[in-house]
Structure 1
Amino acid sequence: MNQQASCLIVDDEADIRELLVLTLERMQISADSASNLEEARSLLERREYGLCLTDMKLPDGSGLDLVRHITQFKPGVPVAVITAYGSAENAVAALKAGAFDYLSKPISLKQLRPLIESALRLTTAGNAKTDQQHTLFGESAPIRQVRAMIEKLARSQAPVHISGESGTGKELAARLIHASGPRREGPFVAVNCGALPENLIESEFFGYRKGAFTGANQDREGFFQAATGGTLFLDEVADLPLPMQVKLLRAIQEKKIRKIGSTQEEPVDVRIISATHRNLAQMLENGEFRQDLYYRLNVIELKMPALREMPEDIPRLSQRILEKQAAALGMDVPALNAGAEAALAQHAFPGNVRELENVLERALALCDGESITEVDLYLETGTGTTRTASPAMPSDMPLPEYLESLEKQAILDALEKTNNNRTAAAKLLGVSFRALRYRLAKLGLGKDE
């Protein structure tokens, strides 16, 4: 821990101030304390701090007043608010006001230490390098706003809910928030809530003790323990059944979990980021999602824009995708001609960036290797298609033979583009190597030239 780190403690109870000062000194952090809002403001004017811990209730005001004061005059200082036990509303209010995190009374040193360490790491978080594969490309206004929001969210521990249509990059945004903040050295655990069997959800999230149920032959950690010190990303959180929503709410509010078969709770240190493409507000009205959980997850919302909202980014984004796909296949990058660029700009892309990736992967397989044309994109429109008609089926050829000839030609084209590299050809065609080998044998193409 940095020897020069310092903290301001604000609480009207002398014994709590003393406990916090002693804890910080053991962590080699110098600490000043104030018993009210006026003293705190005075100390903030005279000294720079790396962190502020303040009680929610103060004799001459509220901890929220101090949060707002620091946000305005000392924007680089993270503030953690101490709330009364079970006061979820105050915790949410503090996070919405700009607090870095919160602690509930009675204060647990097991929860306090990681909070302090995370807060003090914020000073170096801005120097973190982001992996190029985890980058939001584009210069349109919507994507610039998202990047700016991610930068702000990285400086907080508040739960974030990422909304947006399928294929807009919600998990990528979550990874960027994690990688840009003080938890970047910790794990990023992504959970697809819709893919978990209902009877296993609780054990997957919280873990279990040996003997807790038939088949529990040893202790097992859950997602919360796996994400300790890092971020737990709950994708498609709207798919969680209502009984599990209750248990998740308690874990988030109390920052504690209980393994199945255990009689004791244990503290957990994770940041929660959730996402869904579904309309949670509508689900609330229908009774399909708990209101209290919604407000705990949706402390701050990040909305990912649809691709059709930023058409000016499509050419550059397409180029980046093609470079990545061609590199994976060991091919040169074909150019998008003017017709292809125009067709992409006019397409609605209901599947967003994921659909664009699929369109370009298909075009890479269909093009001549030099350039991609509008025909290669094989795009559909709302009133018909921009696809060129497939070669007319000869009237004297049975359908199975005609389809076989098309398949054979597609395989031969893929082999030619990949210099007869069957592994690369299989990837280009979107099939497994084993499936390609089977088709080669069936079509009489199995012998090496």
Structure 2
Amino acid sequence: MRSALVVDDEHDIRELLVLTLSRMGLRVDTAADLAAARAHLGANRYDLCLTDMRLPDGNGLGLVEHIAQRHPDLPVAMITAHGNVDAAVQALKAGAFDFVSKPVDLGVLRGLVQHALELKDERRPAPPPGNRLLGESEAMQRLRATIGKLARSQAPVYISGESGVGKELVARLIHDQGPRAGNAFVPVNCGAIPAELMESEFFGHKKGSFTGAHADKAGLFQTAHGGTLFLDEVAELPLHMQVKLLRAIQEKSVRPVGAAAEAPVDVRILSATHKDLAQLVEDGRFRHDLYYRINVIELKVPPLRARREDVPQIANAVLLRLAGDGAPVATLAADAVAALQRYPFPGNVRELENVLERAVALCEGNLITAEDLQLPVAREASDAAPLPPEARPAPAPALRDPNRVTAESALPLALEQIEREAILKALEECRYNKTKAAAKLGITFRALRYKLKKLDIE
């Protein structure tokens, strides 16, 4: 029989928690202070601990830290005063997996207990094969270990890193390896929602609440109930929406547009952006209270240039995916591997995928050479880590010959037109048989397919 330890100096709260947990099939021990709690922990094994923040002989944070050190496999949740966000954040940073506010909402409490018990269950669904972080570099091993620890918590996590490093994949792994894996993972690009529709999208609306609201609609919070809501590009949220989002996170409830009352939601918040969120707070463009609420734990995803030894493994996985079922897999020549490891990849893994997709179309005999990669020479030769776009200084105006500018811009267009005419002529002569047209042009079918897409030829 599973068991729980309840630590609170208020007799009525202890009775309420004992009654609720007992009805969920748990055996419950209680303690009114830190000394009694430590004695119970030393003599028994528990599947869950609930502790109040304020205790007669100390602070509940001390018990959270004690459990994190002595009983790391025991999920502990903090009971905090209503609206005490600072206490909740401190508890999560100290090692608590979640918190619940007084007066205790029994629905929220039951959900919290269920998640805690699932943490003790080792039979987790394995992440899908595509949801894997590849690489054996020290940086990636540290990242995977941190993800494993964060998956056990319910603390909000802020995932930082440059564009293209795989922040959404990291968020999915945190979800997949945690007790919410069986429920929804809902990603949302905060920069893609029109400002006037944000409240309805996040919190839902009732029928007739505004023009066009022909039926009740659940929002993103309701859709993610029991699971994880991933706020990608969270820096793009307008200030008025930041206020509403902060309240929803703090109170664990939302009010749909046009509704008379709030509805409780059980959602873990993960967020990400490639921008410097701390700088935006300093500039007054992002609320400091929301920043500290979503940034309980920051997880930095390293750029690809910081783990160059992982490039061959990632590249081979991308080539396998590009080949599809049953098709021959393209391979990298030695000079191509060397070129990829020298190139700094300002666009990170996303740019590597694009480079390889182009190379697969252009290579001969499924062997990709350095020439097929078509990497920018100037950037490939430099090992310096490039600045992100928002941090780069504006280029100084240069005095240039206008005739030369015209010639430079016209040359690619002229070559593209010649290429287009040659392809169209070959297609017409071969009665639009692409295989024959490719042979007539002296290129592979894959290369022809790439050029048709590039030149937008139907």
Residue by residue, what CA displacement relative to the aligned partner does 1:39-69 show, whole Å, maximum 9, x if unpaired?
0000011111000000000000111000001
Q: Does 1:344 align with 2:340?
A: yes
State the match for 2:354 in structure 1.
358
| Structure 2: stretches of 5+ with no match in the other structure | 383-410, 440-444
Distance 1:431-1:121 versus aligned 2 partners, 3 A rule: farther
User: Aligned pair in 2 of structure 1 residues 203, 120: CA closer, same or farther (>3 Å)?
Assistant: same
Q: CA deviation at 1:128?
A: 3.1
Number of the residue aligned with 2:135:
138
Instruction: Indicate how the Cα distance of structure 1 residues 146 and 384 shifts in structure 2: closer, same or farther if over 3 A, else same.
Output: closer
| Corresponding letter in the other structure for 1:361 | E
Tell me the CA shift for residue 427 of structure 1: 11
1:196 aligned to 2:212? no
* 3-state SS in 2 of match to 1:293: helix
Q: CA deviation at 1:431?
A: 6.9
CA distance in 2, matches of 1:413, 1:128: 47
Matched-pair contact (CA < 8 Å) for 1:21–1:31: yes
> Which residue of structure 2 lines up, in the alignment, with residue 325 of structure 1?
322
- Pairs aligned (count): 419
Give the direction of change, closer, same or farther, for the CA distance of 1:56–1:376 in structure 2 (3 Å limit). Answer: same
- Render the CA deviation track for 1:331-366: whole Å, top value 9, x for unaligned: 311210111011000001000000000000000000
Q: Counterparts of 1:306 and 1:212 in 2: how far apart (Å)? A: 45
The alpha-carbon distance between structure 1 residues 290 and 413, as it changes in their structure 2 partners (threshold 3 A), is: farther
Contact 1:11–1:55 (CA under 8 A) maintained in structure 2: yes
* TM-score of the two chains, using structure 1 as the length reference: 0.88
Question: Which of 23, 40, 43 pairs up with 2:20?
Answer: 23
| Alignment partner of 1:160 is 2:157 | yes
Report SS of the residue matched to 2:299: strand
- TM-superposed CA distance for 1:413, in Å, is 12
Quick one: which amino acid aligns to residue 328 of structure 2?
D
Quote how far apart the aligned CAs of 1:429 are.
2.3
Tell me the secondary structure at the aligned position of residue 63 of structure 2: helix
**Residue 369 of structure 1: CA displacement?**
3.0
Q: Which residue in the other structure is 1:42 paired with?
A: 39
Give 1:277 deviation, angstroms.
0.3
Q: Distance in 2 between the 1:413 and 1:239 partners?
A: 48
State the match for 2:227 in structure 1. Answer: 230
SS in 1 for 2:213: coil
Alignment check: 8 A CA contact 1:307 1:352 kept? yes
Q: Pick closer, same or farther for the CA change 1:306–1:384 going to 2, 3 Å.
A: closer
- Residue of structure 1 aligned with 2:450, choices 422, 429, 434: 429
| Equivalent residue letter for 1:346 | R
| Residue identity opposite 1:226 in structure 2 | T
Offset at residue 132 of structure 1 (A)? 1.0
C-alpha separation between the residues in 1 aligned to 2:196 and 2:45?
Answer: 51
- Please say if residues 203 and 219 of structure 2, whose CA atoms lie closer than 8 Å, have aligned partners that are also in contact: yes
Residue 126 of structure 2: aligned partner: 129
Q: Would you say the 8 A contact 1:415–1:425 is kept in 2?
A: no
87-96 or 375-384, which deviates more: 375-384
Q: 1:409 to 1:18 in 2, by over 3 A?
A: farther
Identity %: 55
Query: Residue 205 of structure 2 aligns with which residue?
Result: 208
Letter in 1 for 2:377: T
Counterpart-to-counterpart distance in 2, 1:413 and 1:341: 35
In 1: Cα distance, 2:283 partner to 2:241 partner: 18
By how many angstroms is 1:127 displaced?
A: 3.6
1:374 aligns with: 370
Question: SS of the counterpart of 1:23?
Answer: helix
In structure 1, what residue type is equivalent to 2:221? F
8 Å CA contact retained: 1:154, 1:181: yes
SS at match of 1:211: coil
Q: Is the 8 A contact 2:362 2:447 kept in 1?
A: no
Aligned-partner Cα distance in 2 for 1:121–1:80: 14
RMSD (CA atoms): 2.6
Alignment of 1:245-260 (within 5 A): 245-260=242-257
- CA drift of 1:123 comes to 1.4
Instruction: Look up the equivalent residue of 2:196 and give its one-letter code.
Output: N
Distance 1:277 1:206 in 2: 25
**Residues 126 and 180 in structure 1, CA contact (< 8 A), matched pair in contact too:** no
Following the alignment from structure 1 to structure 2, what is the Cα–Cα distance between the partners of residues 244 and 36?
41
The answer as to 2:182 corresponding to 1:185 is yes
